[in-house]
Amino acid sequence: MSNWVYSFGNGQSDGDGAMKSLLGGKGAGLAEMTRIGLPVPPGFTITTNACNHWFKNAGAYPDGLWDQAQAALRLVEERTGKRFGDAENPLLFSVRSGAAQSMPGMMDTVLNLGLNDQTVLGLAAKTGRAVFAWDSYRRFVMMFGDVVLEIPYTRFQRVVEDLSKGKEPRELSVEQLQAMVEKLKAVVADVWGPFPQDPQQQLKLAVEAVFKSFNGQRARYYRKMNNIPDDCGTAVNVQSMVFGNMGENSATGVCFTRNPKSGAHVFFGEWLANAQGEDVVAGTHNPNPINRDGGGNGTGEKAAGLVTLQEAMPAVYDELNALQKRLETHYRDMQDIEFTIEEGKLYLLQTRNGKRTPAAAVQIVVDLVNEGLITEEEAIRRVKASDLELVLRPVLDPDARKKRIARGLDASPGAASGKVVFHSEEAQELADKGESVILVRLETSPEDIQGMNMAKGILTARGGQTSHAAVVARGMGKPCVVGCTEILVDYGRQLFYAGDSVVKRGDFITIDGGTGEVFEGEIPTLAPPTDAGAMGQLLAWADKRARLKVRANADTGADAANARRLGAIGIGLCRTEHMFFEPVALRAMRQMILADDERSRQRALNAVLPIQRQDFIEIFRAMDGLPVTIRLLDPPLHEFLPNRPEEVSTVAKDLGVRTEALQERLKQLHESNPMMGHRGCRIGVTTPEIYNTQVRAILEAAVIVAKEGKDVIPEIMIPLVSMPAELERCRKQVEETAEQVLAEYNSRVQYKIGTMIELPRACVLADKIAAHADFFSFGTNDLTQMTYGFSRDDMGKFFTEYQQRGVIKDSPLAVFDVDGVGALVKMAAEKGRAAHPQLKLGVCGEHGGDPTGVAFFHNIGLDYVSCSPFRVPVARLAAAHAALGVL
Amino acid sequence: MSNWVYSFGNGQSDGDGAMKSLLGGKGAGLAEMTRIGLPVPPGFTITTNACNHWFKNAGAYPDGLWDQAQAALRLVEERTGKRFGDAENPLLFSVRSGAAQSMPGMMDTVLNLGLNDQTVLGLAAKTGRAVFAWDSYRRFVMMFGDVVLEIPYTRFQRVVEDLSKGKEPRELSVEQLQAMVEKLKAVVADVWGPFPQDPQQQLKLAVEAVFKSFNGQRARYYRKMNNIPDDCGTAVNVQSMVFGNMGENSATGVCFTRNPKSGAHVFFGEWLANAQGEDVVAGTHNPNPINRDGGGNGTGEKAAGLVTLQEAMPAVYDELNALQKRLETHYRDMQDIEFTIEEGKLYLLQTRNGKRTPAAAVQIVVDLVNEGLITEEEAIRRVKASDLELVLRPVLDPDARKKRIARGLDASPGAASGKVVFHSEEAQELADKGESVILVRLETSPEDIQGMNMAKGILTARGGQTSHAAVVARGMGKPCVVGCTEILVDYGRQLFYAGDSVVKRGDFITIDGGTGEVFEGEIPTLAPPTDAGAMGQLLAWADKRARLKVRANADTGADAANARRLGAIGIGLCRTEHMFFEPVALRAMRQMILADDERSRQRALNAVLPIQRQDFIEIFRAMDGLPVTIRLLDPPLHEFLPNRPEEVSTVAKDLGVRTEALQERLKQLHESNPMMGHRGCRIGVTTPEIYNTQVRAILEAAVIVAKEGKDVIPEIMIPLVSMPAELERCRKQVEETAEQVLAEYNSRVQYKIGTMIELPRACVLADKIAAHADFFSFGTNDLTQMTYGFSRDDMGKFFTEYQQRGVIKDSPLAVFDVDGVGALVKMAAEKGRAAHPQLKLGVCGEHGGDPTGVAFFHNIGLDYVSCSPFRVPVARLAAAHAALGVL
């Protein structure tokens, strides 16, 4: 006969901590704590198998389950000296669900199970606390009615409000409480039937309610989204009650073995005298700090004026302190512990790995290694790579009051507050006056770069995770929320609507780019840790284990230097677009676009040359000894012309052409689908002068910096290739210009020529393309968009609904699409290498900083990834995870 | 020793007709004609191998070549009784290039080689025609100077013009001609050196000039574009001269064994008395018909007033008539024969398969089968599939005078003339008055359908082969030129510029959709053959051999009936967009788009339901017994809203909403890249009411038509799937609605549910998608665009340059991209079939009517293709070609 029930108590335990899938996380923890001799109230766990059996058999318990449960119950009675349903000395239970992974939407807790009209009297007599007993009964009827019998909680609340007349229930008299219990039972009788008096029936109903909740809508949805199988089941934990609310000698609390915000190695926690656990959790009472070292708010400040547990109950505190150390050593990780003190006796109700801020996570694992508790490899495994990005950004003070007015996509983490402005020029004006601004736009374009640079954060109504705003903001390391369709921007009236809020120019808002939330007003933020010591240590350990190299996307010398500081071992993508937006270059570029013949175009481009050369000089200097991959011009030419009608005549005048001529050119260059238009190498083929000028600037810069004694390693990259002949042609052009420059300077610099692989056809024909390439760099942004057939600028229109309806979980622009896009990347890598074994393979899309992507790119044998500087630490850790096989 | 030279003459021939690759097409033809005893002037052919040797060895002749050539020359002297370079009875040669495939840009012809200051006197004395002799010398100096010595022809022309004083050269005196020859030789002396007097040197230089021309730029380009290897070489044909210009007893001409325009089995040709071949070809003289049956213009009309060869030289005509019959029987195809009559003796100079119109091609092969000359299979092999499309369209009268003003893409074949209009409403107005109009637009949108329908032809400045204009025009079978970037449309002033022409509203133009040309004024067109008897016969033979089935794309009952007439065995793509453009439906659709909640949307859609139902009823009736694949709504919703600012307020008023509300909605729906936006199944997922309404209309129509006793086979198709979950969800919706309708009607109709495969990701995940599909229909238009990453609407901006620069030959939207897109289609077909062996596989992109595509789809085992009705015959023939392995 199967074992459906596992007992624990008084140092004896049928199960242990390794049996998570059978006993659930909570059950395994209780078994383990009991096993190692910690003071855990006795109880038993009904296994996840029982739950699965129950579902497979239309709600029938497996043979023997109930008998085993009765035996376990007898054992608890023995261990506690109390009896279930006994009118003199009643044993009461808490009943909790507990799957291997915690799951929102599953049944939480029923306390005080076993109380009825008789046992309540016994509890009162035995404890000598009639108010306590009747208040416990009141709580039980409400909880049981709500979570087991599924009667709307508000109906009970109304009764309590009516009868308590502004007092706390436990301040009422016994008679008042008895009357309240009668009314509450009447509610149950009204909806469900007479309140079940038989404790065994109560237990059976509660166990079944736990089972049922496993198949509730929210839990099912959560499993689907997280790829948790539907047959993992939930366990049911039935544990004898202890009471923290039996007078001033009783208490309850939650503690952490280290500070969960900073990671500092200080025992930290909160407690409440004469209270039950839910009072701490619900936040209805203000708890006190357990000690003066840890403080009450995680910052280590003295908790002035508050009574600590250490002072109130020194012996119990010492015992708790000893136990928490033991638990941390046992679990080899920071623990989050629930405890109750019943009339001076300490009980532990739960322990689990404590949640922590990203910064604390890093600090804790590094400390644990230094304390000899875990290995370097374990430290690496334990930190979620994506959390590292958050370590570098300010976060919202979790204790501040917030009014959320909208939510968009979490494009670039970090929190920022500032005055709303709608135009880049205004952002600059206000920033010049020292004000913090948030730039709010329908979407941004390259002309907004300056304004974005001056803003503390960016909010756009349109666009996805790799929209212009998102990409640029991440590059700048600036908080950014995009695709916020809940706001309605009205440039004309200089305001935006968000639900029932109207936010005008100059009003303060706060955005959290890590969650996509937009809040009213100014909310204090916490600065990121200035000391990156622990992170530096962790990443050094990671680098030793990683095979995949990490480069950064950086467009300027400053970016490059920053990337290098963050550990990038090269630039994987230097976009050259911005160099054309420098005012002198932009004017020349516009002249070039309006020119009719090659000579005039070349003349205009000659004005751009020194500007680009200077930019490349700065980048090459910053990257001495490291490779720099430079992408030749990618966007369509119309991006360099004014896109607002009112600007056209101004620009035309500035260029000395008729407004009509400029309008005509704009019309000619207009594209229905600019993403799929005349851009990338298509410009290189049709207007070779542009690429030639860029190549000349690169090579001249390389020669100049090389003569300074620096090691320059330029890699010239041709974007948007879909036909081998395009690359063949562009490569020839690049080589001709490069060799010409080197001959003029009578110098020699090694350079490579390669291509972006960012169109599906380039993947399919990778072998033929490889014949003309020294390297491939997968542009996974465009590749993802083309493979799915959606544009990042427009996907917001349906993607949120897709996520809400459960069609897809993550945006494939944020989390790499291994099944679809991945198959194409793998095909291309294999074909490319087969045709050209020395081919260097990298990634320069945003997925270079996405752990899912990094793992995949490691697995298919790519050489490097490149990402925004602020994601370099993420990628370095993810690369180590990939090498260690961490999923 | 290799054989570098092949002789022919007097019924003896070293080679034969099968030796095309060694002797070139022309040389093999001369050998074969000689071999079968036809009167061919003797000569010899230098092989293609010799040419290749010459290139490989830096211009050195292979050992023995020149000796062999001298021996062959001696043989010609024997056979003709004349001697090369002899001052009394000189032998003269023509020298022509001739590769296995004719190649533009290669050297054409040098006539009269062997003439010099001495032999010209011999020729004059021997023939007694001094003017003839000196005029021949004059021609020789000019031709040799031009094509062999590469002296600009204009320099010679100027001399001739100066000295001939308005007369034909042969009308000059001997002295005048001698003076002219001296001047011409002086031109040569000036540029090159003294005119070569040694006939052997002349021959050597001419042979080398032929070799060199094989590597000329144009020939190389042509080989690259047509995948002809560079080492195929050209042969050189050296043939003794005969003269059609030796008096009234001499003549020259060209004849066809059948009428090359109609294909009628009538001997047909033209001749000129006392003339050389070039006089006929150059069009400087008006030739006469050879007989009265054939007529002079191919239409069989009597050539009134002109002297036929039959009348002028009845004996020679009879001989020619006998020979042409023999040649056709020998070559088993219609022949194009060049002949010369020298003083009453007939010589054949060349025979080759004659060029013919598409209509003639069909007629001829069917006749040849019926005459027992070729097999059905040969008939099928001989007709180019793409030509069948042209058979159904009017063509420009080839004899009419034309002034071409621009050239765009040949989007939909056929020629049309009409008055220029720029707006659809105007097209309708004028057409209502019975006028022919050509609709000229920057590009068309669904709102232009009505206007396109009323126009004789469509011309757009933008767009590619599958732009809206192109696709719709092909569907309508209407001539269309798109992407005509050479025109500049000014809607404001109601005119367009094309080069130095200004074409105003109301001016006549003519477009040829088969060539992409635009002409000034009205040009007469020839009607297509009304009797499709021969085509019907040919296609019946083709169907017997084809495996791949052919369906048509058709959106209305009328289209469907037409498709069925043209042999489609089903509808592979019924687009439902147009059904929403019907005025009542459009208004309802707009109301739906502006509605805020599902109920209002459903109410609006209820107005659309009966309209769609009626459309489906008509289609199902027309397709009784054949499957009809219906694609649910595909375009983004903003396509249904007005796109011209001036319309917005009108439409808002009509809908009873504020203009601002409509503008707001327009702004919300605006997309940066609508091709990659919120469309296809993305609408199905986010606004299920639309698909549900369409499915209801389909099923209700199916039930109604089935009750009429017809066999209804609906196949419901979900567009733009990139994720299996999308199809899973849409399929469930479709099934629910369909079953509901069938239950309401208490009826049963079998229906299938499938999906378009038109995004790269759908190809990669075809196995997972197949789990939810009864069929796949490859949408190769979108798939091609996404795979390449260009949009048909924007590709015009760079594609013409790509073609001009030799980066690519054909647009992959016109000729299927086997290497790139094909690899994805093949992958998807294999994955789909592996996961779901009963999966039906078809194609509904324009490539369903492209022979390259059809061959590929046959080879990878698809079940059917679907194309515009007018391309159904093309696809049927191409399917037979594929089955027969015709490349």
Task: Give the tokens for residue B572.
Answer: 């592979």
Provide the pLDDT for residue B302: 42
Task: Report whether pLDDT(B420) > 90.
Answer: yes
Higher pLDDT, A230 or A700: A700
Q: Do B819 and A672 touch (CB under 8 A)?
A: no
Provide the pLDDT for residue B443: 85
> Which residues does chain A have within 8 Å of residue B806's beta carbon, measured at their own beta carbons?
725
So what's the ipTM on this one? 0.79
Residue-wise pLDDT tens digits, A713-765: 999 999 999 999 999 999 999 999 999 999 999 999 999 999 999 999 999 99
Q: Do B794 and A675 touch (CB under 8 A)?
A: no
Candidates A563, A555, A551, A552; CA nearest to A446 is A555
Task: Give the tokens for residue A385.
Answer: 């790579």
B324 falls in which pLDDT band (50, 70, 90)? very high
In angstroms, rounded to a whole number, what is the distance separating the alpha carbons of residues B529 and B826? 39
State the residue for tokens 């709600």: A59
Using CA coordinates, name the residue in chain A closest to B766: A820
Q: Do B791 and A676 touch (CB under 8 A)?
A: yes
Task: Report whether pLDDT(A303) > 70.
Answer: no
In angstroms, rounded to a whole number, what is the distance separating the alpha carbons of residues B468 and B302? 46
Least-confidence region, from A271-285, A336-350, B76-90: A271-285
Task: Report whether pLDDT(B463) > 80.
Answer: no
In angstroms, rounded to a whole number, what is the distance separating the alpha carbons of residues B410 and B390? 12
List of E strands, B537-648: 549-553, 571-575, 627-631
Provide the pLDDT for residue A465: 65
Q: Do B725 and A786 touch (CB under 8 A)?
A: no
- Supply φ then ψ for residue B867, to 5 degrees: -150, 180
Task: Report whether pLDDT(A447) > 80.
Answer: no
CB of A405 within 8 A of CB of A519?
yes
Specify burial of residue A813 (Cβ count, 10 A radius: 0-12, 13-18, 19+): buried
Mean pLDDT of A360-380: 95
Using CA coordinates, name the residue in chain A closest to B676: A790
Kindly list the distances between the CA atom of residue B41 and the CA atoms of B23, B239, B252, B348, in Å, as whole numbers in the listed order.
17, 7, 14, 8
Q: Do B722 and A797 touch (CB under 8 A)?
A: no
A468 is an active site residue? yes
B784 falls in which pLDDT band (50, 70, 90)? very high
> Which residues does chain B have within 8 Å of residue A780's beta carbon, measured at their own beta carbons?
none
- Supply φ then ψ for residue A500, to 5 degrees: -95, 10
**Continuous segment of H or E residues that includes residue A420:** strand A415-421
Exactly one of A255, A484, A844, A867 is catalytic; which is it?
Answer: A844
Provide the pLDDT for residue A742: 97
Terminal alpha carbon distance of chain A: 36
In angstroms, rounded to a whole number, what is the distance separating the alpha carbons of residues A778 and A844? 6
A300 falls in which pLDDT band (50, 70, 90)? very low
CB pairs below 8 Å between A and B: how many? 172
Least-confidence region, from A96-105, A340-349, A877-886, B724-733: A96-105
Candidates B266, B276, B275; CA nearest to B303 is B266
A431 falls in which pLDDT band (50, 70, 90)? confident
> Which residues does chain B have within 8 Å of residue A782's beta carbon, measured at their own beta carbons?
789
In angstroms, rounded to a whole number, what is the distance separating the alpha carbons of residues B242 and A831? 61
Candidates A513, A429, A519; CA nearest to A474 is A513
Provide the pLDDT for residue A451: 86
Residue-wise pLDDT tens digits, B691-704: 999 999 999 999 99
Task: Report whether pLDDT(A7) > 90.
Answer: yes
In angstroms, rounded to a whole number, what is the distance separating the alpha carbons of residues A96 and B106? 91
In angstroms, rounded to a whole number, what is the distance separating the alpha carbons of residues B19 and B22? 6
Number of Cβ within 10 Å of residue B708's Cβ equals 11
B286 falls in which pLDDT band (50, 70, 90)? low
The proportion of chain A whose per-residue pLDDT surpasses 70, expressed as a percent, equals 96
> Which residues does chain A have within 8 Å of residue B722's beta carbon, measured at their own beta carbons?
787-790, 820
Candidates B286, B363, B849, B256; CA nearest to B567 is B849
A674, A765, A805: residue with CB nearest B820? A765
CB of B72 within 8 A of CB of B33?
no
Using CA coordinates, name the residue in chain B closest to A461: B668
Least-confidence region, from A115-124, B222-231, B435-444: B222-231
Give the gap in angstroms from C-alpha A787 to the nearest C-alpha of chain B.
5
State the residue for tokens 């991945």: A822
- Supply φ then ψ for residue B158, to 5 degrees: -60, -40
CB of B348 within 8 A of CB of B40?
yes
Higher pLDDT, A355 or A605: A605
A759, A791, A801: residue with CB nearest B788? A759
CB of B547 within 8 A of CB of B879?
yes
In angstroms, rounded to a whole number, what is the distance separating the alpha carbons of residues A811 and A379? 29
Task: Report whether pLDDT(B296) > 70.
Answer: no
Provide the pLDDT for residue A702: 98
Task: Report whether pLDDT(B738) > 80.
Answer: yes
> Which residues does chain B have within 8 Å of residue A725's beta carbon, measured at their own beta carbons?
806-808
pTM (2 d.p.): 0.80
Kindly list the distances between the CA atom of residue B307 and the CA atoms of A48, A60, B277, B311, in Å, as whole numbers in the listed order.
107, 109, 18, 7
Provide the pLDDT for residue B398: 75
B301 falls in which pLDDT band (50, 70, 90)? very low
- Supply φ then ψ for residue A196, to 5 degrees: -60, 125
Residue-wise pLDDT tens digits, A628-643: 999 999 999 999 998 7
Kindly list the distances between the CA atom of residue B382 and the CA atoms of B332, B386, B878, in Å, as whole numbers in the listed order.
11, 12, 11
Task: Report whether pLDDT(B303) > 50.
Answer: no
The proportion of chain A whose per-residue pLDDT surpasses 90, expressed as a percent, equals 69
Provide the pairing of β-strand B480-482 with B457-460. Answer: parallel
In angstroms, rounded to a whole number, what is the distance separating the alpha carbons of residues A691 and B186? 50
- Alpha helix (H) residue ranges in B656-811: 659-669, 681-686, 688-707, 724-745, 760-764, 766-770, 780-788, 796-804
Mean pLDDT of B389-393: 78
Higher pLDDT, A30 or B499: A30
Provide the pLDDT for residue B297: 40
In angstroms, rounded to a whole number, what is the distance separating the alpha carbons of residues B748 and B735? 13
**Continuous segment of H or E residues that includes residue A572:** strand A571-575
Task: Report whether pLDDT(A299) > 50.
Answer: no
Q: Do A798 and B676 touch (CB under 8 A)?
A: no
Give the gap in angstroms from C-alpha B727 to the nearest C-alpha of chain A.
10
CA count, 13 A, side-chain hemisphere, A369: 19
DSSP annotation of A862 reads -
> Which residues does chain B have within 8 Å of residue A779's beta carbon, measured at their own beta carbons?
none
Higher pLDDT, A91 or B390: A91
| Biggest CA-to-CA distance, chain B | 104
DSSP annotation of A307 reads P
A102 falls in which pLDDT band (50, 70, 90)? confident
Provide the pLDDT for residue A869: 85
Task: Give the tokens for residue A543.
Answer: 């680098």
B92 by DSSP, 3-state: which? coil
> Which residues does chain A have within 8 Å of residue B786's beta carbon, measured at their own beta carbons?
760, 786-787, 789
Using CA coordinates, name the residue in chain A closest to B791: A676
A1 falls in which pLDDT band (50, 70, 90)? low
Provide the pLDDT for residue A296: 43
| Biggest CA-to-CA distance, chain A | 105
Task: Report whether pLDDT(A63) > 70.
Answer: yes
Provide the pLDDT for residue B299: 37
Interface test with A, best of B485, B786, B821, B824 (most A CBs within 10 A): B786
In angstroms, rounded to a whole number, what is the distance separating the alpha carbons of residues A3 and A65? 8
Using CA coordinates, name the residue in chain A closest to B793: A672
Task: Report whether pLDDT(A573) > 80.
Answer: yes
Hey, which residues does B870 pair with through a beta bridge? none
Number of Cβ within 10 Å of residue A708's Cβ equals 11
Number of Cβ within 10 Å of residue A399's Cβ equals 9
Give the gap in angstroms from C-alpha B503 to the nearest C-alpha of chain A.
19
The proportion of chain B whose per-residue pLDDT surpasses 90, expressed as a percent, equals 69
Which string of DSSP letters, residue by residue, matches B452-509?
A: HHHSSEEEESS--TTSHHHHHHHHHT--EEE--TTEEEETTTTEEEETTEEEETT-EE
Q: Do A760 and B805 touch (CB under 8 A)?
A: no
Task: Report whether pLDDT(A572) > 80.
Answer: yes
In angstroms, rounded to a whole number, what is the distance separating the alpha carbons of residues A656 and B864? 59
Provide the pLDDT for residue B531: 44
Task: Report whether pLDDT(B282) > 60.
Answer: no
Provide the pairing of β-strand A549-553 with A864-867. Answer: parallel
Q: Do A820 and B765 touch (CB under 8 A)?
A: yes
Q: Kindly compute the dihedral angle of the four CA atoms of residues A698, A704, A707, A710, in this order, to the nearest 10 degrees.
A: -60
Mean pLDDT of chain B: 90
Provide the pLDDT for residue B530: 42
Burial A373-390 (b: 16+ CB within 10 A, else e): bbebbebbbbbbbbbbbb
Least-confidence region, from A25-29, A701-705, B424-428, B637-641: B424-428
Task: Report whether pLDDT(A189) > 80.
Answer: yes
Mean pLDDT of chain A: 90
Using CA coordinates, name the residue in chain A closest to B673: A673
A20 by DSSP, 3-state: which? helix
Q: Do B785 and A685 touch (CB under 8 A)?
A: no
Which string of DSSP letters, residue by residue, matches B780-812?
A: HHHHHHHHHT--TTTTHHHHHHHHHTTS-SS-T
Give the gap in angstroms from C-alpha B676 to the nearest C-alpha of chain A.
4
Higher pLDDT, A218 or B743: B743
Kindly list the distances between the CA atom of residue A526 and the CA atoms of A303, A414, B45, B268, in Å, as whole numbers in the listed order.
20, 10, 92, 95
Hey, which residues does B866 pair with through a beta bridge? B551
Q: Do B807 and A685 touch (CB under 8 A)?
A: yes
- In this structure, which long-range contacts are made by residues B643-646, counting pairs with CB atoms below 8 Å and at least 24 apart in sequence? B643/B445, B643/B447
Task: Give the tokens for residue B838.
Answer: 């009963």
B573 by DSSP, 3-state: which? strand
A458 falls in which pLDDT band (50, 70, 90)? very high
A256 by DSSP, 3-state: which? strand
Q: Do A671 and B793 touch (CB under 8 A)?
A: yes
Q: Which residues of B are the active-site residues? A: 468, 844
CB of B641 within 8 A of CB of B728?
no
Compute the Cα dihedral for A354, A359, A362, A367 and give only its sign: negative
CB of B829 within 8 A of CB of B512?
no
